[in-house]
Amino acid sequence: MSLLDETIGANFARTAGQHAQREALVEAAGDGRADAARRWTYAELAHDVDAAARGLLSAGVAKGDRVGIWSPNCAEWTVVQYATAAIGAILVNVNPAYRAHELQFVVRQNGMRMLVVAPSDRTSEYVALARDALAECPDLRELVFLPAPHAPGEAPFEPGVPASDGETTWAALVARAAEVPASAVEERAATLTADDPINIQYTSGTTGFPKGATLTHRNILNNGFAIGELLGYTPEDRVVIPVPFYHCFGMVIGNLAAYSHGCATILPGRGFKPDAALRAVQDFGGTSLYGVPTMFIAELALDDFASYRLGTLRTGVMAGSTCPVEVMERVIADMHMEGVAICYGMTETSPVSTMTRAGDSLAQRTGTVGRTMPNLESKVVDPLTGETVERGVIGELCTRGYAVMAGYWDQPDKTAEAIDADGWMHTGDLARMDEDGYVMIEGRIKDMVIRGGENIYPREIEEFLYRHPAIQDVQVIGVPDATYGEELMACIILRPGAQPLTAEDVAEYCRGELAHYKVPRYVDIRESFPMTVSGKVRKVQMREEAVARLGLGAR
């Protein structure tokens, strides 16, 4: 598979020209009515991308300027992604969960010039907090307010703007396209290269201060294209994306994989709802469905799951964490996703560095995260010495190649800590590689539990407990212990109608199956797990909550 040596804008323009009348984007209505969905053909989407790009040029956005977007999933997010790429502006993905302090930190850290803002909703006062940032952050010169969700034919609601000279509406920005010639975007595009930075995504560091992973056209376009190739995407595919655009999962594995192959993308809603995701597959003929394992678990657990018509599905992507065997079996059998793939990676690697392939066995799709992606390298090293370890030995997984980020924005010291002198990205994940090149993730180095000198990898215990008939989902964490250093806690979500489990019940289930030091001492029955916006379980938060509740004190 050859690498693409072009910009995102050039790739999209070619795809749109080849598939002008094919459907490109469907945004499902919030009430689930298929007749109220908003739809774009490739020609219509290209028109809107061009109008937004020219509007940005009219507003004075230069090559390399940082343009943020702070919004849940919506059609305009996709338009902003491709419009900024077309003119060489660097799109900054702002986590929708951020509040005032976090938003202002990110705006200041990269010198953001413009911020595209969602209308306020029940979970966030986007408009008010963005106005505070405009007042407090000197580099931020303009806010662009997106319209509230609306059905076709309805006038979009513009949320109380403009209130000052530094504010405008999405409609007004797009209208400014008339102020620049039609050739302006092409002229800017001629100055761009595939190695230009085009995207900043913030990842949390151990200090708690986010770091801006800076990604180029070459990074994310090639990663998205390779994913689509391995999934066998064609223009006939319709990709349902309930995962957030804010994260690489939505904008790279989702948009870039799909649009580099002429597929249609389908947005079930602004946030994840299991019934909305399945309804989007059913109503719009989804052939591919995305999610982290907890999303698929929630979909399969719906009381009316059997009523959804999912026969159009053939493939999809699970990422974020490895998938329990029982869940994968149901996804393949009950959701018709015979070609579903496991993707592994991190924002700093654009994001996918390993992936399962069509034809891989069930064991390979549940026990591993696949093999190294085309045009990339992987190795497993001793975390202390940095020496490459033998096949089958656990160590830190490292990745090298086109997908490794350009660096952390304006943080060369942090970049040097993550990427060594030979170009290897150190992931912080514990892994082992078998003789056939399949990689097994054993957990984060920081999540490994050390009990009485024994290294314990929570995934092994989680996989075992998933077999319990009362357990719908489970996460295993380490909590402080005066005698052994750490003890295990199993945090459990029960199946509907199941009787509560005690620590004694879990210990009895493990007896004779797991070594004594792997049996959880504590059990925490929960309704849900704290999650990141990208759908990953926040084990650090769960540990903090457990320490406080049990009065254990920090280790």
Are the C-beta atoms of residues 245 and 265 closer than 8 Å to each other? Answer: no
Q: How far apart are CA 142 and CA 172, in angstroms?
A: 13
pLDDT reported for residue 416: 97
Count CB neighbours of 153 within 10 A: 6
Collect all residues with Cβ–Cβ distance below 8 Å to 448 and sequence separation of at least 6: 430, 442, 455, 456, 457, 458
C-alpha closest to that of 346 among 421, 438, 252: 252
Are the C-beta atoms of residues 507 and 485 closer than 8 Å to each other? Answer: no
Are the C-beta atoms of residues 84 and 62 closer than 8 Å to each other? Answer: no
Q: What pTM, to 2 d.p., does this model score?
A: 0.85
What letter does residue 312 receive in the DSSP assignment? T
Q: Is 388 helix (H, G, I), strand (E, B) or coil?
A: strand
Long-range contacts made by residues 354-362, C-beta under 8 angstroms, separation at least 24? 354/378, 354/439, 355/227, 355/230, 357/230, 358/230, 358/231, 358/232, 362/325, 362/328, 362/329, 362/332
Are the C-beta atoms of residues 304 and 326 closer than 8 Å to each other? Answer: no
pLDDT reported for residue 338: 96
pLDDT reported for residue 209: 72
Question: The tokens 């066995």 sit on which residue?
Answer: 361
End-to-end CA distance of the chain: 48
- Report, at the CATH architecture level, how domain 464-550 is classified: 2-Layer Sandwich (3.30)
Are the C-beta atoms of residues 121 and 92 closer than 8 Å to each other? Answer: no
φ/ψ (deg, to 5) at 240 = -90, 125
Chain centroid to Cα 181, Å, comes to 36
pLDDT reported for residue 331: 97
φ/ψ (deg, to 5) at 378 = -135, 150
pLDDT reported for residue 534: 59
Fold category of 8-334 in CATH: Rossmann fold (3.40.50)
Collect all residues with Cβ–Cβ distance below 8 Å to 145 and sequence separation of at least 6: 117, 119, 127, 158, 159, 161, 167, 168, 169, 170
Tell me the angle at which helices 274-284 and 293-300 cross, rounded to the nearest 10 degrees.
Answer: 80
Are the C-beta atoms of residues 419 and 213 closer than 8 Å to each other? Answer: no
Quote the tokens at residue 523.
């059990």
pLDDT reported for residue 446: 78
Helix (H) or strand (E) holding 486: strand 485-494
Collect all residues with Cβ–Cβ distance below 8 Å to 115 and sequence separation of at least 6: 67, 68, 69, 70, 94, 107, 130, 133, 134, 140, 142, 143, 144
Count CB neighbours of 454 within 10 A: 13
Under the phi-then-psi rule, with left for phi > 0, alpha for psi from -120 to 50, and beta for the rest, what region is 485? left
C-alpha closest to that of 13 among 188, 213, 166, 165: 188
Quote the tokens at residue 87.
């003119």
Q: How far apart are CA 294 and CA 319, in angstroms?
A: 10
Q: Give 401-451 pLDDT, tens digit per residue.
A: 999 999 999 999 999 999 999 999 999 999 999 999 999 988 778 788 888
Q: How far apart are CA 102 and CA 435, in angstroms?
A: 44
Largest CA distance in the chain: 75
Count CB neighbours of 60 within 10 A: 11
Divide the 555 residues of the chain into consecutive groups of 10 and give the mean pLDDT of each group: 96 98 93 82 98 98 98 97 98 92 94 96 89 96 90 60 81 97 97 98 68 97 98 98 95 98 97 96 98 93 97 95 86 97 96 96 93 98 93 96 98 96 95 97 82 83 93 95 91 95 96 90 95 77 92 66
Count CB neighbours of 496 within 10 A: 7
> CA 549 → CA 79, 187, 362, 552, distances in Å?
45, 60, 39, 8
Q: Give 384-394 pLDDT, tens digit per residue.
A: 899 999 999 99
Count CB neighbours of 40 within 10 A: 21
CA atoms within a 13 Å half-sphere pointing along the CA-CB vector of 432:
10
Q: Is 443 helix (H, G, I), strand (E, B) or coil?
A: strand
pLDDT reported for residue 418: 96
Torsion, Cα 383 384 386 391, to 10 degrees, reads -50
Q: How far apart are CA 61 and CA 65, in angstroms?
A: 6
Quote the tokens at residue 163.
């209130």
Give span(s): CATH 3.40.50.12780, the chain: 8-334
Give span(s): CATH 3.30.300.30, the chain: 464-550
pLDDT reported for residue 444: 79
